[in-house]
Amino acid sequence: MDTAVDLRPCLIDVKGCRQAYHKDASADLVVLEDVNLTLREGEIVALLGRSGSGKSTLLRIVSGLLKPTAGNVTWRGRPVTGPTDGVAMVFQSFALFPWLTVQENVELGLEARGVPRTERERRAEAAIDMIGLGGFENAYPKELSGGMRQRVGLARALVVHPDLLLMDEPFSALDVLTAETLRTDLIDLWVDGRLPVKSVLMVTHNIEEAVLMCDRILVFSSNPGRVAHELRVPFPHPRNRLDKAFRQVVD
């Protein structure tokens, strides 16, 4: 298996990346050193590592929001020079706008991409439905539970049909059962081919979650952060064998 050539198109390619943050006059904080990462279409990849090891920094680099101190990043073979259109992000703390409704929060990404209003409405409604929030279009974030807020965060990312979905500890602000339900819903969408993305890169602290959801697990070392190990989850993948009865237990 491992010797077979992988012909799936490469989305993101990070080569020899270094990131140093300015600390004080005498020293810089080197957060990432010689990070290499390739993501192909169709992959779900986990990034597992200690707090402060540079995982969020790497996601910012992958999304084009941060230019690394050194190294090369390409998207579909072209150098990344700014925010990449084909990438959308889900944040640990949801990052919703409290003064906007669910519908308005979800439409934001489309607005930024210049999608006309009627199409924005239609696509936002479809994304809200898909993620299980139908009927809550006019609610404000403060009226929703944590799990529902993160569903809004997911809908806002998914509505643009990104080639690459980045998720930065998407479930860690949620209680265990809410997290498990959302995880299972996402896995179902992916397995059914209904998740409108080509690939996923997710940061997590949860080893079980990484094994259940992902094809590859990149284990990050700290000080400085780099990909120290890579594990492949064997086929048949456990996400295809998930016991759907679980949902009946928690619902």
Read off the amino acid at residue 117. R
Residue 19 binds: one of Mg ion, ligand ADP, none (C-beta under 5 to 8 A by kind): none
Binders in 15-34 for ligand ADP, by CB under 6 A: 21, 29, 31
- Total residues contacting ligand ADP (rule CB under 6 A)? 11
Burial 119-135 (b: 16+ CB within 10 A, else e): ebbebbbbbbebbbbee
Region label for 24, one of left (φ > 0), alpha (ψ between -120 and 50) or beta (otherwise): beta
Query: Does residue 47 interact with ligand ADP by CB under 6 A?
Result: no
Instruction: Report how far residue 187's alpha carbon sits from residue 203's, in angstroms, rounded to the nearest whole number.
Output: 16
Query: Does residue 57 interact with ligand ADP by CB under 6 A?
Result: yes
Query: Does residue 246 interact with ligand ADP by CB under 6 A?
Result: no
Shorter beta-carbon distance to Mg ion: residue 72 or 93: 93
Contact pattern from residue 40 through residue 79 relative to Mg ion, giving x for each residue in contact according to CB under 5 A and a dash for the rest: ----------------x-----------------------
Query: Does residue 55 interact with ligand ADP by CB under 6 A?
Result: yes
Query: Does residue 226 interact with ligand ADP by CB under 6 A?
Result: no
Q: What would the two tokens of residue 65 be?
A: 């929001």
Read off the amino acid at residue 101. T
Shorter beta-carbon distance to Mg ion: residue 48 or 189: 48
Q: Which stretch binds ligand ADP (CB under 6 A): 35-43, 54-62, 93-101, 235-243?
A: 54-62
Q: What would the two tokens of residue 233 be?
A: 């989850």
Query: Does residue 51 interact with ligand ADP by CB under 6 A?
Result: yes
Shorter beta-carbon distance to ligand ADP: residue 25 or 245: 25
Q: Which residue is nearest to Mg ion (CB)?
A: 56
Q: What would the two tokens of residue 178 be?
A: 């809410």
Instruction: Report how far residue 90's alpha carbon sits from residue 74's, in angstroms, rounded to the nearest whole number.
Output: 21
Q: Which of 37, 46, 53, 184 binds ligand ADP (CB under 6 A)?
A: 53
The CA angle 1-243-133, to the nearest 5 degrees, is 105
Residue with tokens 């690394």, as numbered in its chain? 68
Q: What would the two tokens of residue 235 be?
A: 């086929």
Q: What are phi and psi of 131, to 5 degrees?
A: -90, 5
Residues that bind ligand ADP (CB under 6 A): 21, 29, 31, 49, 51-57
Q: Which residues bind to Mg ion, rule: CB under 5 A?
A: 56
